[in-house]
Structure 1
Amino acid sequence: MFYRSIHEFLEDWSQEEALTLKVLETLTDESLQQSVSATQARTLGDLGWHLTSALGAMLAAAGLQIDGPDYTASKPDSASDILEGYRRMSDAVANAVKQQWSNEKLSESLLLFGFMKTTYSGVLNTVVRHQIHHRGQMTILMRQAALVPPGVYGPNEEESAAMRAKK
């Protein structure tokens, strides 16, 4: 989806933010160390923090000034700190886009990261899809960590079973 207005992006961002918060709210401190395998370096906590800190880095590459966690900052040790960091950063993203960009700017072209030809609308699209991508990875790791991931775009396994049982 390429956004034609700031309002359109903010509507989509609000929905995607709520889904990301559902995932982050399910994390526990113990689950943060879960990785795909012993050789996989990225953990569930790393992914949660990446969702938070990459927002600033990606949007800063497009010239947006955001007051939030630095991409190179160390990952917090607690799930609640990751959750609160995401809440603050997500709000900062919405406010910065509203204040610094216009509907007209969305159609302007730029070279993101020095190699990706896109528009400012395309940058926002990339940011949203990046969230979706890593949220999906997190739900798999949550299962491995013995957590029940929330349903995101529909009911999860447990929610589906409960609905079938009510019939």
Structure 2
Amino acid sequence: MFRTVQDFIEDYRDEAQDTEKLLNLLTDESLKAASTPGFRALGHLAWHLVHNDAGMLRRIGLDFKAPPASAEPLESAAAIAAAYRETADALLEAASQWSDEKLLESHNVFGEAWQNGLTMLMFVKHEVHHRGQLTVLMRQAGLPTAGVYGPTKEEWEKMGMTAPK
């Protein structure tokens, strides 16, 4: 649970930069790639990261500009990355207006009383979860990925090392 707004801002800023690194590697052609018929294609998953259930944060009174979850995914990888950047910036700006005390307030989220600091932590974890899915779909689509919590196989090789198996 976040106890200070500054902690949320610093954590989400870092996570958003990592998400943006991956989104910037997408191509328009790759957006249609799916792991299995009937499941989200890469473009739908990338688009989900743009609005990333902003409704969860709206339930606790954090209002910022984000596309609605019902909006159709954009068909351009560059446009999705730009929309993500705008949404993340808007979220960070809105959060910076909050006080630390606001994080202690509770709201009904998914049928439970969650303090705002917990909801914001779960929001970040939700993005990290989907970002992991994104990297798998990117690999399956033949795209490079970027290291997030450690180097990728290609990044290990650029350092002149063999990636651990």
Could you state the TM-score of these two structures normalised by the residue count of structure 2? 0.92
Matched with 2:17 is 18
Residues 55 and 93, structure 1, Cα contact 8 Å, conserved in 2? no
| Unaligned runs of at least 5 residues, structure 2 | none
Residue matched to 1:161: 157
Q: Runs ≥4 in structure 1, deviation > 4 angstroms?
A: none
CA drift of 1:130 comes to 0.7
What is aligned with 1:84?
82
Tell me if structure 2 keeps the 8 A contact 1:21–1:83. Answer: yes
Tell me, in whole angstroms, the C-alpha distance in 1 between the residues paired with 2:50 and 2:11: 17
CA distance in 1, matches of 2:12, 2:99: 16
Q: Deviations over 1:140-164 (max 9, x none)?
A: 0001110011111110011112223
What number of residue pairs does the alignment pair up?
162
Match of 1:106 in 2: 103
* Residue of structure 1 in register with 2:38 after alignment: 40
Q: Secondary structure at the match of 2:51?
A: helix
CA contact (8 A) 2:49 2:84 kept: yes
CA distance in 2, matches of 1:4, 1:122: 9
The one-letter code of the counterpart of 1:23 is L
Measured in 2, the distance between the counterparts of 1:14 and 1:132 equals 13
Distance 1:89 1:140 in 2: 24
Quote the Cα distance in structure 1 between the aligned partners of 2:40 and 2:72.
13
Identity %: 41
The CA deviation at 1:55 is: 4.2
1:1-167 pair list within 5 angstroms = 2-37=1-36, 39-99=37-97, 101-113=98-110, 115-165=111-161
Secondary structure at 2:96's aligned position in 1? helix
Asked whether the equivalents of residues 49 and 127 of structure 2 are also in contact (C-alpha less than 8 Å), the reply is: yes
Verify the 8 A CA contact 2:59 2:107 in the aligned structure 1.
no
